[in-house]
Amino acid sequence: MERPDYIPENYNRIKVVESLTALANACFGKKTPENCFLLPRQMKGDFDGLGQALAKRSRIKDGDFYSLGLRQIKNALTLPLQEDQKLALKQIFDDMVSIEETFQGRAHSIHLRVVRGYAHSSATRFHTDGGNRLLCGYSLPVTECAKNEDVIYTGYDNKYLLKANAQPFSFAPGDMWLQEGGRFPDKKPRNEEDPQHFIHRATEPAPGNVRLLLICETKAPSLS
């Protein structure tokens, strides 16, 4: 598959794959550079409108988010939504079912996060997650990412600072990706031997907008 132009050129930590099966079969290893496998996709439907409808129904406030599991998404399919919003919701439901089937017991806690903001979370700072995750941002702004060489470890809480003049990047709405996570000990200075997990941060939706983000904890096989 052609490498999308919105990811850094000649950056071997991100590998583009062609199918969900390829994502499920992806391996992270100490001897291989990848810390992210990306499945570029184009979706149809009104994800922004769906986000607004779900947020309105749940009455979440600006700066907050909540999560819906597979059963709740299935129930939501009966809501009186506009056709293009229903189409968007059906694709999210299909994604969840396909992930469960394809990952065969290695996908856990699959949910859709409905986001009006991250006022109570430090996820908007560059960080690594504690474990491997499968994600899809259905609406803008999608998660922001940084190359490992573009950040400096703060020394605590798996948080990183972007170097001056470094450019973060984002995937496109609908893209699905598997990212490598892992804890890094607090107060330990960063050096060349550090784990090179995937660096990213949550993005705040514009005021009044709602982000829809699929999140799934995975046990991706690791090569030693």
Q: Which is nearer to Fe ion, 48 or 129 (CB)?
A: 129
Least distance (Å) from Fe ion to the CB of residue 200? 6
What are 189's two structure tokens?
A: 């200075």
Q: Which stretch binds Fe ion (CB under 5 A): 103-111, 125-133, 156-164, 206-214?
A: 125-133
Give the integer Cα–Cα distance in Å for 61 and 115.
10
- Minimum distance from residue 126 beta carbon to Fe ion (Å): 9
Q: Which residue has the tokens 């979706």?
A: 43
Contact between 180 and Fe ion per CB under 5 A: no
Q: Which SS3 state, helix, strand or coil, does residue 20 take? A: helix
Angle among Cα 55, 97, 169 to the nearest 5 degrees reads: 60
How far the first Cα of the chain sits from its last, in Å, is 27
Q: Which is nearer to Fe ion, 129 or 180 (CB)?
A: 129
CB of 30 to Fe ion, least distance (A): 22
CB of residue 201 to Fe ion, shortest distance in Å? 7
The tokens for 126 are: 């560059």
Residue 156 contacts by C-beta under 8 Å, 6 or more apart in sequence?
A: 186, 187
Q: Which residue number, 81 or 160, has a Cβ lying nearer to Fe ion?
A: 160
Residue 126 to residue 140: CA distance in whole angstroms: 18
Q: How far is the CB of 123 from Fe ion (least distance, A)?
A: 6
| 129 in contact with Fe ion (CB under 5 A) | yes
Taking the least distance from each CB to Fe ion, the nearer of 76 and 138 is 138
**Residues sharing a CB contact under 8 Å with residue 136, sequence separation 6 or more, in sequence order:** 41, 95, 174, 175, 176, 177, 213, 214
The candidate with the shortest Cα–Cα distance to 216, out of 95, 72, 86, 64, is 95
**Contact range with Fe ion by CB under 5 A, out of 77-85, 89-97, 128-136, 172-180:** 128-136
> Which residue of the chain is nearest Fe ion when measured via CB?
129
| 95 vs 129 by CB, closer to Fe ion | 129
Q: Which two tokens stand for residue 167?
A: 């450019």
Segment near Fe ion (CB under 5 A), from 29-37, 122-130, 152-160, 209-217? 122-130
Residue with Cβ nearer Fe ion (129 or 175): 129
Q: Which residues bind Fe ion (CB under 5 A)?
A: 129
